[in-house]
Chains A and B, each alone.
Chain A
């Protein structure tokens, strides 16, 4: 059974996502910090996403850069905090000034890990714009994903 993902707009400037993983924090942390593992899940095939390149220099002040296929879209930024296996903080600079700072914490309990991803935007307007922009840019991709999720939802509902 898959664990549920929750997303909550905690305040005008914050978006918080949570998910539990059936494994210890050191393993989940490893999957977030090793490029060869990260790229296997961050661009899910089910989304029609494919990564051209994935560079991650995971240390304080180190940079990361993720590049996509056709339109050469890129996500990039800088790691601000790296505390294995419990905490990662980085900037998202592709959107210029309006980009959020992302904090991910890994909290282990009884062999499972609660992951909390916290995105803090510089302003309410920046978060609103990110929502609208992301929605516009990804409508097509999400339409594919919607189809997949309907299929998945149907099979999950039966189990």
Chain B
């Protein structure tokens, strides 16, 4: 079984599983907005909207920037695509290294067993 990075897939799916968050993405697709704007638009408390934006941010779907006292949200899709591609390659590189390392570990384990037997003899 191939195990994928939890971050990419799970976080994105979790983020997109909620109607409000999908609405927020749609909204940000039209224009950047502050958390206050979004809370008003979706008839939510500031705290509630902060949580939603936090989930979207965690998944890399939204980026936020605080200027003064206002936190502005914008779509982070492009960045996510680029980063996901890079992380995928990085994981492939280390995955290939670790598969080779498995072989070294197996060999050392076998050697240890043989040496252990010799010592007991």
Name A's B-contacting residues (CB within 8 A): 1-9, 15, 17, 19, 21-23, 27-28, 30-31, 37, 40-42, 44-47, 117, 131-132, 134-135, 138, 142, 145-146, 148-149, 153, 156-157
In the assembled complex, the CB of A119 is this many whole angstroms from the nearest CB of chain B, namely 10
- Is the beta-carbon distance between A4 and B86 smaller than 8 angstroms? no
Tell me the number of A-to-B contacts counted with CB atoms below 8 Å: 115
Q: Is the CB of B96 within 8 A of A31?
A: no
> 9 more A-B contacts (CB under 8 A) besides A23-B105, A138-B89, A142-B93?
A6-B3, A15-B87, A17-B94, A27-B109, A40-B103, A41-B104, A47-B96, A142-B92, A149-B96
Chain A residue at minimal CB-CB distance from B112:
A27
CB-based contact B86/A134 at 8 Å: yes
* Cβ contacts under 8 Å, A145 to chain B: 89, 92-93, 96
Say yes or no for B5: interface residue by CB 8 A criterion: yes
Could you show 8 A-B contacts with beta carbons less than 8 Å apart?
Answer: A5-B94, A5-B98, A27-B112, A28-B101, A40-B103, A41-B97, A134-B89, A156-B2
Which applies to chain A's interface (DSSP): helix, strand, loop or mixed? helix
Given A17-B91, A131-B86, A149-B92, A1 contacting B1 (CB threshold 8 A): yes
- Cβ A157 vs Cβ B93 within 8 A: no
- Interface positions, chain B 10-64, Cβ under 8 Å from A, are none
**What is the minimal beta-carbon distance from A7 to any residue of chain B, in angstroms?**
4
Residue among B4, B86, B101 with the highest chain A CB neighbour number at 10 A: B101
Indicate if the CB atoms of B2 and A157 lie closer than 8 Å: yes
Given A23-B106, A134-B86, are A6 and B93 also a contact pair (CB < 8 Å)?
Answer: no
